[in-house]
A and B are shown apart, each in its own frame.
Chain A
Amino acid sequence: MSDTDPPVAESDSESTATDRERANGEGSAGEEVVVAESLRRSFGDLTVLSDVSFTAESGTVNCFVGPNGSGKTTLLRIVAGLLAPSGGRLDVAGAEGRAVGYLPQNPAFRSQFTLAETLGFYEDLAGVEIDPADVLARVGLDAVADRPVGDLSGGMTRLFGIAQATVGDPPVLVLDEPSSGLDPTMTEHVGTVIRDLAGQGHTVLLATHDLGTVDRVADTVLVLDDGIIQVADSPETLRRETGSETLTHAVAQYLVGEAGGLTVRTGSRESGGDGEDGEHGEGEDE
C-alpha cells in the first residue's frame, strides 16, 4: 500500500474486521479498491487461508488460480461479504449502495421468472433504477429478456449471473469460475465481457482453473496455494520470470504441490462442510 492510501486499522484477530468503505465515491483508475491484509480463515482446526494479502485496483482484472481446495472460493466469499475472516483485515472501497457484485460458482435463479423479471427483483433490492435491456446487453442476452430463466443453457445462466452481478453498479465484481463448463466460443465471450466490465471501471476478482481465459483477461494473476498468495503479477511477467512459454507452466512453478493436483488439507470442519459456520451455504468446491 502507498502512503496515500486510506488509513487501515491495526490488524486484529479478535475483531475479524471486514470494513467496507463506501465514502470514497467511484474509484478512479489505478485506485486501490480492495485491500486485504493477512487474511486468515479456519473451519474448526482446518486452516484454509493462513496469511493472504493483496490489493486490487479499479479497472483491473485480478485472477486467483490454484489447485482445488486451495481456498479460492473461500477467499472470494470473504471479499463478497458472505463469510467473515478468522483474522486479518479487508477493506473494500466504493460508491454508496451495493459494494460487491457476486457470481457464485453454480449460479441459479428461480426458473419461473423471466430474465427481465429477475433483474427487476434485484433492481428493487439494490434500490436503483436500471434498464434490464441495457444490463442484459452487456452480456449479449438482451434478445432473450422475456424468456424464463429456466429455459437458459448453463452458459447463458452463467452470463446472466454476470449481468446480475452488475446490478447496482458495484465497484467490485467477484466472479467464481465464470467460464466453468462453457464451450470455447462462450468462454471467449465471457472473457470479452469481463474485459469490458473492467474497462467500465469495475474491479474484477475472479477464481478459475481456465488459464487460457486468465492469460487473455488478467491484469494480475494471484497464485493461491498452501493458504497464502505465492505470487501476484501479470501473465507476461510470470512467464518471463519463470522462462515459461505458457501461463500453465509458469503458474506450476509457484505451486507448492504438483501442478494440477488436489490440495488435501488435514483437519476437521467442526462447523460443517459448507464453510459458513453452520448456516446455509453453497457447498461448492474450492
Chain B
Amino acid sequence: MSEAEPATESGNEAEAAGDTAGGDAVRPWNDRRVGQLLTVAQREFDTVTRTRTYAALAVVFGLVVVALPSLGGLAGYLPLVLDLLTAVEVLVPVLAFGFGTWTVLADAETGELAVIRTYPVDRSTYVLGAYLGRAVGLLVAILAPLVVLGVATPVVREPATSVLASHGTVDSPTYFLRFVALTCIYGLVALALAMAVSSLARSRRSGVAAAVVALLVVVLGFDLLVVLGVGQGVLGSGTLPLALAASPPAAFRGLVLETAAGGLVETGPPAANAAASVVGLAGWLVVGLALATLRAWSPVGE
C-alpha cells in the first residue's frame, strides 16, 4: 500500500486480498487462502471431535432418530422416510444449532478472535473454514444413524402391514438415499443460520437466547406465518408453494414429498414448489454465511 493511497482496509484484510504475499511469498494467493481455510476447518473439526458436549448431542440425536421408526417396526424405505420426516424437520436444526452456535462466538468470548485478526487471514476465509469444519462434524452426526437405519431396514424388514409397505414394487432404497441427501442439505442450511447467530451474538448468554429464538423461528415460525397467511386469505393457491419454499422446514418437507416419497403422498394443496424450495434453501444458506462473515468483524477503516 503506498503512502498516497487511502487506507480503507486493515493491513490484514489488504494482505489477505493479495496486496502482499505474507511470510510465504512463493505460494500463490489462492493456494495460501485455501490452506488457511483448511487450517481453520481442521481446527473446528478437531474441536468438535474433542468436545464431549458435541459427542453427547450426536449420540442423543442418533438414538432418537434410530428409535423413532424402530418402535413401529422397519417396514421398508418408504415408510422409513415418512416416519422420520417430521422428527428430522425438528431435530436436525436443533443439532445444527448445537454444533454451530459456539464457533465465532467462542473465539470472540475468549478474545482469541482478536489474536486471529492480527494474522493475514480475511474474515470470509475464517468463517467459511469454521463452517466447513463444523459441517463435516455435523454431517457425520446426521449420517451415522441414517446409515444404521438404511442398512438395518432390509435385514429386519417386518411383514408388510401398511398400505404403503404393501406396495413392494414402489419401495426402493433410492427414496431413502434422496431423503438422506436432502436431510444433509437441510442440516447445512441450518448450520449456516447457526453460524450467523454465532457471529451476531455478543455474549454466551445472548448467544443462547438468540439460538433458541432462531430455532423457534426456523422450525415453527415460518410455518405459522404461512398458516396465518392462508387463514387471513393473504396466501392463495398460487402464492402458497412459493411461501412454503421460503420456510426452511417446509422447503425441506416439500422436496422430500416431491422426490423421496414415491409420489404416494398427496398433500391436497400443492406442497412447496420443488424449484422454489431449492432456491429457498440455497438462499438461506447464502444469507446465513453472508451474515456470519459480515458480522465476524469489520475490517479496520471500514
Contacts and interface: CB of A to CB of B under 8 A. Distances in A.
Contacts of B39: 121, 124-125
Given A8-B3, A280-B297, A81 B12 contact: yes
A139 interface: no
Interface in A200-249: none
A127 B46 contact: no
A19 B11 CA distance: 7
A16 B10 CA distance: 11
B298 A277 contact: yes
A164 interface: yes
Contacts of A109: 110, 112
Contacts of A129: 24
A96 B111 contact: no
A179 B300 CA distance: 28
Interface in B5-27: 6-8, 10-12, 14-15, 20-25, 27
A113 B44 CA distance: 11
A98 B115 contact: no
Contact of B24 (A18, A100, A105, A127): A127
Contacts of A108: 110-112
Contacts of B24: 127-129
A125 B1 contact: no
Interface stretch (B116-124, B172-180, B250-258): B116-124
B35 A127 contact: yes
B208 interface: no
Interface of A is mostly: loop
B204 interface: no
Contacts of A161: 115
A189 interface: no
A9 B298 contact: no
A282 B111 CA distance: 5
A135 to B, nearest CB: 14
Interface of A: 6-9, 15-22, 77, 80-84, 92, 96-102, 104-110, 112-113, 117, 121-122, 124-129, 161, 164, 168-170, 272, 274, 276-277, 279-282, 284
17 contacts: A8-B3, A9-B3, A18-B7, A20-B11, A22-B15, A80-B118, A84-B302, A96-B20, A96-B23, A96-B25, A99-B11, A104-B114, A110-B110, A110-B112, A112-B50, A127-B23, A276-B297
In the A-B complex, the 9 residue pairs with the closest CB atoms: A20-B11, A280-B108, A97-B23, A108-B110, A128-B23, A124-B39, A112-B50, A127-B24, A125-B119
